[in-house]
Structure 1
């Protein structure tokens, strides 16, 4: 039987860029409702090519077929703080089985640092060589635990890596719970909010362990 694992961070008022306030309350208004405020790249979220002007494609224009597919889980926990994830971190057996259109999920254990300065300032990131490898191999989706695929404190780096990947790869950032997976190959489903002209959007991301 397939297992279904939620890879999405929970939005709380501790998450930078998000707030939730009561808009209606049952005792006064007859129902409970909230006003939610999101930064477009907070929590578990996805990027659109327009985020770095790679093209004019916005989050609502990306075909939904790009949000679903087989993905390989890469154990990169040893990369560590401020480390670069390189093509050689992908085991050869996965490279041998990989086909164009598959996705990659990089397991770094970084989600344990959510809501701390380290989460943003010391993140392990995707190297230029790996970004180019992903384009060359036609990777459909790439998922990472940190809030970005690159060093957000280095504008040149964060721009270069996003501009390479967004030429053909759907970027998912802010994943969690990867350690709950029991297999290194899953069906990945990542659905961003459909925001008109969106440069990115929060997303609900799940993995289905159909390849157990």
Structure 2
């Protein structure tokens, strides 16, 4: 089995959404004194490679702990949008060029190549986002989730989070942000999981997103 890690490492100096606290990892037990090591982790629920549920935007909507575990595993397809320049849009044509594969997928993961900017100010630039037609296609579909290798579903300039609100207003779906290594997954359907922490009333959670492929013998 070949496994690809699609997850950024959580550490104290990592990129976070503008205005958000960076994580802290504080030792509370050490080998020399206690015989083991333990750390106190402080961070927001939307740190690093993480997942949004509908409750992130709307009170009374589905929280992460209310989803069945089956929501976080299935078949995924990478949608290659790496040719797009800053400020351009992800269109329906980017999705439909994959034909039936896009319809059979449980997760659509949009590859923009922005994970290569991780750790620099360029990561917070004007990354491409789904346009209205592409977002409508996702909402009409039976997808468990969508994901991106950028910091948001909406542009950073959109403080109203209009795409988040449209996606989550009535649809039970998850949105994954800050993925990496999507270019390694090819153009065919593959096995994918993105399990969050099971936090009570979870409005979001870091995930360990993974792709895996059964090797042919």
Fold similarity call, TM over 0.5: yes
Stretch of structure 1 that moved more, 69-78 or 175-184: 175-184
Residues 107, 144 of structure 2: 8 Å contact kept: yes
1:111 match: 115
List runs of 5+ in structure 2 lacking aligned partners. Answer: 17-21
How far the C-alpha of 1:152 sits from its partner, in A, is 2.5
Q: Distance in 2 between matches of 1:69 and 1:57?
A: 20
Task: Return the match for 2:100 from 96, 107, 111.
Answer: 96
Q: Distance in 2 between matches of 1:4 and 1:183?
A: 16
Once the two structures are superposed, the pairs formed by residues 64-103 of structure 1 within 5 Å of their partners are: 64-92=69-97, 94-99=98-103, 102-103=106-107
How far the C-alpha of 1:4 sits from its partner, in A, is 1.1
Q: What is the number of residues matched between the two proteins?
A: 208
TM-score by length of structure 1 reads 0.89
* TM-superposition CA deviations, 1:95-149 (whole Å, max 9, x none): 2333366211111111111122221232222222211110112222111001111
Given the superposition, is the C-alpha separation of residues 67 and 134 from structure 1 closer, same or farther in structure 2, using an over 3 Å criterion? Answer: same
TM-score by length of structure 2 reads 0.88
RMSD: 1.9
Given the superposition, is the C-alpha separation of residues 184 and 132 from structure 1 closer, same or farther in structure 2, using an over 3 Å criterion? Answer: same
Task: Return the match for 1:198 from 195, 202, 210.
Answer: 202
How far the C-alpha of 1:178 sits from its partner, in A, is 1.4
Q: Distance in 1 between matches of 2:214 and 2:60?
A: 34
1:13 equivalenced with 2:12 (yes/no): yes
How far the C-alpha of 1:55 sits from its partner, in A, is 4.4
Stretch of structure 1 that moved more, 196-205 or 133-142: 133-142
Q: Distance in 2 between matches of 1:103 and 1:10?
A: 22
Residues 193, 210 of structure 2: 8 Å contact kept: yes
Given the superposition, is the C-alpha separation of residues 170 and 122 from structure 1 closer, same or farther in structure 2, using an over 3 Å criterion? Answer: same
* TM-superposition CA deviations, 1:24-65 (whole Å, max 9, x none): 111112111111111111100000111110742111111111
Task: Return the match for 2:130 from 126, 132, 144.
Answer: 126
What SS does the aligned partner of 1:207 have?
strand
Q: Distance in 1 between matches of 2:115 and 2:102?
A: 26
What SS does the aligned partner of 1:99 have?
helix
Q: Which runs of 4+ in 1 moved over 3 A?
A: 97-101
1:164 match: 166
Residues 186, 210 of structure 1: 8 Å contact kept: no
Q: Distance in 2 between matches of 1:178 and 1:190?
A: 14
Residues 193, 201 of structure 1: 8 Å contact kept: yes
